[in-house]
Amino acid sequence: MTINIKKCTLQDLHTLQEISYETFNETFKDQNSPENMTAYLERAFNLEQLAKELANSSSEFFFVYYNHEVAGYLKVNTNEAQSEEMGDESLEIERIYIKNQFQKHGLGKFLFNKVMEMALELNKKKIWLGVWEKNENAIAFYKRMGFVQTGAHSFYMGDEEQVDFIMAKKLI
């Protein structure tokens, strides 16, 4: 069993769109209306939007491979790319998504360790993220990685207002 990681470039745009659609659908389609899912997918993962995010020097995407097959991806943000104004000393995990079939094989933890490495190298003091209040699996995973809830904010999934818990892990 081998696990590898690769930083994404613009050349990975189409693979990134595919895995974004697939993992988002798998994770949220049972708890959201098809209309709201479609609205979100089209807004968040259209090629123009993803290309813009890939070109942003304050965001980084990584693919994780399990036995050389793309199994998931990670997106981290620093500075002004963060979804909330958390300041220069924070790093945001915007997305950790592992395909269903590859979950519980240590890949989420592998990506989290990559985030820790990056945050320490950049002398960040905090790692934070927003996670849907109903995403119990992800909340349990982040707690296991040492995050605690520090707040909440709302966001729109299509026309539905939903609540994200803000979770953070201090590094000092």
Q: Which residues are catalytic?
A: 142
List the end-to-end C-alpha distance of the chain, in Å, as a whole number.
34
Interface of this chain with ligand COA, residues 5 to 24, rule: CB under 6 A: 23
Q: At what angle do helices 34-44 and 13-28 cross, to 10 degrees?
A: 150
How is 41-53 classified by DSSP, letter by letter?
Answer: HHHHS-HHHHHHH
Asked if 107 is part of the footprint of ligand COA (rule: CB under 6 A), the reply reads yes
The interface region with ligand COA, picked from 8-16, 39-47, 73-81, 107-115 by CB under 6 A, is 107-115
Beta bridge partners of 39: none
| x-or-dash string of contact with ligand COA, 26-55, rule CB under 6 A | -x----------------------------
Asked if 98 is part of the footprint of ligand COA (rule: CB under 6 A), the reply reads yes
Element (H, E) at 155: strand 148-157
Enumerate binding residues for ligand COA (CB under 6 A): 23, 27, 96-98, 103-109, 131, 135, 137-138, 140-141, 144
